[in-house]
Every structure is written in structure tokens, then in C-alpha cells.
């Protein structure tokens, strides 16, 4: 996970989960959630998201493993790609 965090500076580890706050307007946050929908279903992994007026906060952890797994890293990468418009 260290390599992921080194190359994805928006994300931080709390030890138990990955968290990221994107400073984007509300309508863009909705677009990002829509853009990551297929990744969420493909991975069968569901993030906890909070949308505010000018931000999207994403929290990832693998509930049944009690921490961060490769599923979280893969989904975090998908969120970054969606925010960047890829």
C-alpha cells in the first residue's frame, strides 16, 4: 500500500481504511460516483461516500477483512481516474 500512497497523493491511510477528499463541486461529485459505478459493481466492493456542497469524501476498507486490501486500492485508483476525467 505504501507504493499506492506514494503515487496517489490525495489518499491517506488511517491504518484501518483509505480516505480521500476531492475538492470538487457537488455536480462533479455526482458525475464521479456515476463514472465509478461499473468499477464498484465489477469489484463487488462498495465505498462509503459523503458529498458536500464543494467536496466528495471517499472512505474505503474491506469490512470482512477488517482493513485495507487490494480491492480498496483498485477502487481508489478508479476514483482518481474518474476525477481526472479518464
| pLDDT confidence bin for 76, thresholds 50/70/90 | very high
**CB under 8 Å to 61, separation ≥6 — which residues?**
16, 17, 18, 67, 68, 72
* 53-70 tens-digit pLDDT: 999 999 999 988 878 999
Q: Where are the domains of the chain?
A: 2-84
Any idea which residue has 476498507 for its cell?
61
CB 64 within 8 A of CB 80: no
Give the closest residue to 19 by CA, choosing from 37, 5, 36, 33: 5
pLDDT of residue 77: 95
Distances (CA, A) of 71 to 26, 41, 52: 26, 12, 25
In CATH, what number does 2-84 get?
Answer: 3.30.1360.20
* 15-34 tens-digit pLDDT: 899 999 999 999 999 999 99
Amino acid at each position: 500500500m505504501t507504493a499506492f500512497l506514494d503515487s496517489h497523493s490525495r489518499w491517506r491511510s488511517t491504518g484501518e481504511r483509505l480516505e480521500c477528499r476531492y475538492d470538487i463541486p457537488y455536480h462533479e461529485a455526482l458525475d464521479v460516483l456515476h463514472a465509478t459505478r461499473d468499477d464498484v459493481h465489477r469489484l463487488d466492493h462498495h465505498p462509503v461516500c459523503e458529498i458536500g456542497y464543494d467536496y466528495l469524501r471517499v472512505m474505503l476498507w474491506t469490512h470482512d477483512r477488517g482493513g485495507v486490501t487490494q480491492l480498496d486500492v483498485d477502487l481508489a485508483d478508479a476514483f482518481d481516474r474518474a476525477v481526472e476525467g479518464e
